[in-house]
Structure 1
Amino acid sequence: MRKQISRNSIYNYIVFVLLLTAVAIAGGAKFEWLKPSEEPVYDLSNIQQPFPKATSFKTNSDNSLSVLDASNHHIGYALISDELDARSQGYVGNIPILIAINNNKKVLGVYLLKNNETADYIEHVVDKHLLESWNGSDVDTTLILTEVDAITGASRSSNAIISNVQKTVSNYLLLEKQQIKISWTFVLQTVMSLLLVLLSLNMVLRRKHKKIYLYYLVAILGIMGLWLKQMLSLEVFHNWLSHGFPWQSNPVLIVILLLSIAMAIAGHKKYYCNFLCPMGALQVLSTKISPFKKRKFPVKIGTLTIRNIYLTYIWVSLLLGFTLPLSNMEPFIAFSFAVASYFMLGAGILIVILSLFFNRPWCQLCPTGCLLDSVPSLFSNAKIKNNEK
């Protein structure tokens, strides 16, 4: 008996293609999938931030930049992290920096160059004056060994900036053998993440440990959500589609994405949503502790679902050229208490409250969940077409 492709499956296919296309185009995608964008990260305008009188610059043999004024007088130096092979990875990718130095080889300031980190995290780092930590320091080994604390709430981004400052100065001084401290915290975070991924696979494929499922969700919420902020989102897809997979920046999250797609194709729908999404874990735990009778969350307005309306709004806006704050289109940044706006914190609290009365209210809207849910529909449709030939 020949199967018919449902209207819902067709719409899922359209949403999947349009949403990915819109997110990619909005980021200026060149679809260079396997390598990050190699566009220049700086120009004269960046150098004019610390040197307002700069009119030109030239590259020296040590890969520093000599900054010149209108009279061609030397007014300082600029060290660009990318030019000195310093590319420490933040949450989404490399965070290039410019270190401005006066003629006496003292640091005038550290400046961020074009990057793809979440704007809220970068703003938090700037507001906490991390970039001013090296002002007035001599450019020598003392600067490299200076202890600078990461910023709470944006530890991955701030650690990348600190590391880039150290590596840039180290390479500038030709101290390639200078030891930069290994981030044992990053090693621990990676190991913990991979252990949770392996445990999730064991629970899905072997259908064991169901008795500890709620404890497992507590670990997902605490480790992947509150500690690591390790979650898939529209903004993450936007950066990856636009600039390629930054394998060095967050390999675990890329593994989670590829694994989620593979599991969906294999028939384990909602694998990511049920086992690895911190927001999903938060909703399930809120539901379990609630004494109220759970209802089905109202998802339709007439014949249209709220999710379809929301997703259509996103991809139409992006395709028409409107700039959307993708990090605020989903409430995931609410896990970063020190960074999130009051609006996003309120959205997170609202989801918890709704979860006391409804089953997974956010999951009925989630664009990320929709994209992952659409994957098995695409492949099932392909099978149907092959069977009809």
Structure 2
Amino acid sequence: MKIARIKNKLPQLAVLLVILVAIGVRTEHNKKSRAQSVTLPSKELLACIKQALPTTESIEEVAPETWKVVGGGHEVIGQAILAQKTTSDIIGYSGPTPLAIVVNDQEQVECIALLPNDETPSYVGRVVEEGFLKRWKGMPVEEAVSKDMDAISGATYSSVAINETVKKRLSEYAQAASVARKADLKAIVGYVAVLFVLLYALAFYFYPQRFNKYRISLLILSIGVLGFFYGSFLSVKLVGSWLMQGISLKNQVIFVTIALLAFVLPYFFGKNFYCSYVCPFGASQELLGKLSKRKVELPSPVVSVLSRTRSKVLLLLMAITLFGSTLEISDAEPFSIFLFASASKGVVVLAVLFLLLSVAIPRAWCRYFCPTGALIDFFRRESKDILPKSVTPKVQLIALLVAVLFVLAVFGAALFTSF
């Protein structure tokens, strides 16, 4: 595969660099904003952390009232937990008994401390004096969630309330940790599956003559893994959100990987990677197209107009996004059909319409209306091919009119089906 003439794509390179810088700036800005908005732990919890985990270097909020404790070697050495909001219904003698709880990296309780409370001071004082809060030290969380400690004589209500608070909050923590572990396992399986599909697609991209006989398998994997299983598809909505909100690599590493391949490979090699080998909706159209050998041949003037329509759709959607419209631009692309439970009725109609069209008109959506494909193609083509002189202003104007009608129809259908 020959490398494209890079010198003829310098304007596209400039645009790509501007986009990357804009996303980077927005990501850093939002990261600082989020850091400033994080709820700070109480001084009692900080003291508990310092006492229980003296090698603490920093803490990071990972969930409401839960912080990850990081050691000097940047390793996670424990979790810090507040038992306050979700345990406020547990009353001692005259009020709730909110707690600070620190758990080490072995899931053992290291420290429990009382937070400011409205419980009777003398009862609370007796609980502390009797060492009641130290009874959990070294106890595994799974044991603590069901452990009933003997009450302190003279502070029965307070000690029982503290015991129930520990059990309830650690039960919530253990459940959340279990769910997180299952989610992590699912994410790892998902990452491996997506990586396999991308590597498989790259084999088709670089060695088409050797692999094209297996193309149906790639289409099925794209639809099953990238579409339904992981929902990993590019869209104008996604790129727009990166420009407005930045990127979270922790949660979007798959999307970022796909985007880099989608934009960088065509730039250097002049051949579309994402649309031809990865996009699950494109794969769906291609598979359905195999149902019938009879295809509709559109007149050349119609093809000339439609082939320039998707770039106009892209410009319209970008304008809608930049001017802060309340319209949901994801409704203008059919990709969320793979996330059927969250797909709007308008998207379902749009997706079904173009899937049916693809039986007679190969990849009708991809070739004529897809704004994401138009964005990728901008970096694939040489500068002289973006606005070719052979295309008359009349054709460009008609294409713009078709794009306007398409966008109006899509958003109109979305609003109509929302009622």
Does residue 184 of structure 2 align to residue 188 of structure 1? Answer: no
The CA distance in 1 between the partners of 2:266 and 2:383, in whole Å, is 10
Counterpart-to-counterpart distance in 2, 1:80 and 1:215: 40
Local SS of the residue matching 2:259: helix
Once the two structures are superposed, residues 230-287 of structure 1 have per-residue CA deviations (whole angstroms, 9 ceiling, x without a partner) of: 1111221122222333111121221111122221122242210011100110111111
| Structure 2 equivalent of residue 103 of structure 1 | 88
Q: Which has the higher contact order (CA 8 A, sep 6+)?
A: 1
2-structure distance, mates of 1:144, 1:223: 32
Matches within 5 A, 1:107-186: 139-146=168-175, 180-181=181-182, 183-186=184-187
Q: Is the 8 A contact 2:285 2:358 kept in 1?
A: yes
Q: Which runs of 5+ in 1 are unaligned?
A: 48-56, 64-78, 87-98, 107-135, 147-161, 168-179, 383-389
Aligned-partner residue type, residue 365 of structure 1:
F
TM-score by length of 2: 0.55
- Kept after mapping to 1: 8 A contact 2:270/2:381: no
Is 1:243 aligned with 2:272? no
Q: 1:245 to 1:381 in 2, by over 3 A?
A: farther
* Structure with a larger share of its residues in helix: 2
The answer for the alignment partner of 1:81 in structure 2 is 63
The answer as to whether partners of 1:225 and 1:278 remain within 8 angstroms in 2 is yes
In structure 2, the residue matched to 1:377 is: 381
User: Would you say the 8 A contact 2:289–2:359 is kept in 1?
Assistant: yes
Evaluate the alpha carbon distance shift between residue 105 and residue 206 of structure 1 in structure 2; reply closer, same or farther with a 3 A threshold: farther
8 Å Cα contact 2:267-2:380 kept in structure 1 = yes
Equivalent AA in structure 2 for residue 143 of structure 1: E
Q: CA deviation at 1:299?
A: 5.0
Which residue number corresponds to residue 31 of structure 2?
37
Instruction: For 2:297 and 2:28, locate their aligned partners in 1 and report how far apart those are by CA, in whole Å.
Output: 45
Per the TM alignment, residue 216 of structure 1 is displaced from its structure 2 partner at its CA by 1.1
The 3 A distance-change label for structure 1 pair 293 and 30 is closer
* Residue 348 (structure 2) pairs with residue 348 (structure 1): no
In structure 2, relative to structure 1, the CA distance for the partners of 1:300 and 1:139 (3 Å cut) is: farther
SS of match in other structure, 1:39: helix
Distance in 1 between residues matched to 2:294 and 2:372, nearest whole Å:
28
Letter of the 1:281 counterpart: A
- CA–CA distance in structure 2, aligned partners of residues 272 and 345 of structure 1: 22
**Percent sequence identity over aligned pairs:** 22
Aligned 8 A contact 2:226 2:280 in 1: yes
Distance 1:318 1:211 in 2: 41
- The structural deviation recorded for 1:326 is 2.5
2:294 matched to 1:265? no
1:302-313 alignment to 2 at 5 Å?
305-313=308-316
Pairing partner for 1:221 from 214, 223, 239: 223
